[in-house]
């Protein structure tokens, strides 16, 4: 076995620099020699530690060397023992624990034990013993730091259905034990105010979302820090899936023959749905000659929104184009359908009255967009009854701007239908009475709806 003087032993701690080699140390002064009371001859000096082992801190995977020096060994042997595992590692110049990571360098008075690479299992107390009677020993603690390592992670992407429980996992192995903190890198709360928050951060290896909402879709970051080694981060993107929901701006749209008409509906769903426009049972193609179909992403002010505005433009309206059209959205979680009525706007003709020419407009539907949100139509078909005045040849008139287009009971429309069913050849007083009734009902409906608008014929 080579002597220590012929070896370059590397001893490294975070608090110390790494010397190129262990310098020779002078022997410790021998203890005073006492004469033997029986023979009068001097007694040999007893062994003592000239270089007891020191505590050492290294990172997992690094190299660690424990050095022990004894003066006046006088034929005794030094041994290394790992107290935590109760293992005898070496005795003298022999290595008892067979491991490729373990090596020993000795000379007459020193023993250097090297572990390379160090593992977390090597952490603990190490004892340098001398087999005197009684035994003498010195101890040192080997501290092994473990960089935080993720051992169980949800992964980069998680899909969940709205309303179900979600459990994101970020379990780590670390020494000292690490703190795991969940946050959102997009600066949104983990639990929004609408669900009882806001909650901005959560500590623990598990992040539980008991009933996930679509507002909680997005990235979630787990940050791992043990206060000593470099922190570690992982990000999981949460996708929240839900069935389609539909909104209509208007349920009735008017147009004149020869003009173009555009029908609109808005859909929100994830995954993004397949959308079809139908007239009756026939699907309408995007051919550019008769129909133009467009899907435009809607900005809602919320991140991770999946809302689209769907438009169907019917070019050069013909008599057969007027009727009911369906906007249908479907994904793997469900289906939604809404119906829009396209009616014809023609000249206003009243028996016995002068011919009044209707003013043309580039937009066939002169009604302003409603100022109140359109109703949501989700998963159902809402049919619209075609009022008789759409088909009347005696009186054809635009629907009043203040009339109901959201499917609710419309007093004015009902009275208008009754009036059309009357014999218009009756007395002038009867016709005048019906007109006044319709006008009063329209005024009442406008006031109740909060729509103070003036209508021009």
Domains present along the chain, CATH in parentheses: 4-146 (2.60.40.10), 154-242 (2.60.40.10), 249-390 (2.60.40.10)
pLDDT at site 225: 94
Give the tens place of pLDDT for each residue, 29-49: 434 445 555 666 777 788 999
With 90 as the cut, is the pLDDT of residue 301 above it? no
Strand (E) positions, 107-198? 110-115, 124-130, 136-153, 157-161, 166-175, 179-183
Mean pLDDT of the region 246-261 = 93
Give the tens place of pLDDT for each residue, 130-187: 999 899 999 999 999 998 999 999 999 999 999 999 999 999 999 999 999 999 999 9
Check: CB of residue 236 under 8 Å from CB of residue 154: yes
CA separation, residue 17 to residues 20, 68, 103, 203, 348 (Å):
10, 19, 22, 37, 100
Three-state secondary structure call for residue 445: helix
Q: Which of 30-39, 69-78, 261-270, 317-326 has the lowest average pLDDT?
A: 30-39
How far apart (Å, rounded) are the C-alpha atoms in residues 255 and 86? 93
With 60 as the cut, is the pLDDT of residue 376 above it? no
Mean pLDDT of the region 84-102 = 90
Beta bridge partners of 136: 130
DSSP structure class, residue 433: H
pLDDT at site 432: 59
Give the tens place of pLDDT for each residue, 325-362: 999 999 999 999 999 999 998 765 434 444 434 433 44
DSSP structure class, residue 406: S
């Amino acid at each position: 076995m080579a002597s220590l003087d012929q070896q370059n032993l590397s001893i490294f701690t975070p608090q110390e620099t790494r010397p190129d080699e262990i310098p020779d140390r002078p022997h410790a002064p021998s203890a005073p020699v006492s004469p033997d009371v029986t023979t009068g001859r001097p007694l040999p000096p007893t062994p003592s530690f000239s270089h007891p082992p020191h505590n050492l801190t290294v990172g997992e995977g690094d190299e660690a060397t424990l050095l022990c020096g004894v003066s006046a060994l006088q034929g005794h042997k030094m041994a290394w023992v790992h107290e935590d595992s109760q293992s005898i590692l070496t005795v003298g110049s022999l290595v008892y624990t067979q491991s490729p990571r373990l090596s020993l360098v000795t000379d007459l008075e020193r023993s250097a034990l090297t572990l390379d690479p160090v593992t977390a299992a090597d952490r603990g107390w190490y004892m340098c013993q001398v087999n005197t009677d009684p035994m003498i020993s010195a101890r040192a603690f080997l501290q092994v730091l473990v960089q935080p390592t993720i051992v169980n992670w949800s992964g980069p992407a998680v899909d969940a259905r709205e309303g179900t429980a979600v459990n994101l996992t970020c379990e780590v192995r670390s020494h000292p034990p690490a703190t795991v903190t969940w946050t959102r890198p997009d600066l949104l709360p983990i639990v929004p105010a609408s669900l009882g928050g806001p909650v901005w951060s959560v500590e623990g290896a598990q992040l539980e979302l008991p009933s996930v909402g679509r507002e909680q879709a997005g990235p979630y970051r787990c940050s791992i820090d043990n206060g000593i080694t470099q922190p570690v981060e992982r990000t999981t993107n949460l996708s929240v899936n839900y069935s389609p929901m539909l909104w209509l701006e208007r349920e009735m749209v008017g147009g004149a023959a020869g003009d173009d008409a555009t029908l609109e509906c808005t859909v929100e769903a994830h995954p993004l749905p397949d959308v079809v426009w139908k007239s009756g049972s026939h699907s309408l193609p995007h051919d550019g000659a008769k129909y133009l179909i467009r899907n435009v992403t809607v900005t809602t002010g919320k991140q991770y929104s999946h809302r689209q505005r769907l438009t169907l433009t019917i070019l050069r309206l013909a008599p057969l184009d007027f009727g009911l059209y369906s906007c249908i959205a479907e994904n793997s979680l469900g289906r939604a359908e809404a119906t829009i009525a396209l009616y014809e706007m023609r000249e206003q003709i009243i028996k016995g009255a002068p011919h009044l020419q209707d003013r043309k407009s580039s937009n066939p539907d002169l009604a302003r967009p409603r100022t109140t949100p359109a109703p949501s139509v989700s998963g159902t078909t809402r049919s619209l009854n075609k009022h008789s005045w759409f088909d009347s040849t005696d009186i054809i008139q635009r629907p009043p701007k203040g009339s109901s287009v959201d499917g609710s009971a419309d007093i004015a429309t009902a009275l208008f239908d009754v009036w059309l069913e009357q014999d218009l050849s009756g007395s002038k007083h009867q016709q005048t009475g019906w007109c006044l009734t319709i006008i009063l009902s329209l005024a009442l409906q406008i006031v109740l709806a909060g729509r103070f608008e003036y209508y021009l014929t």
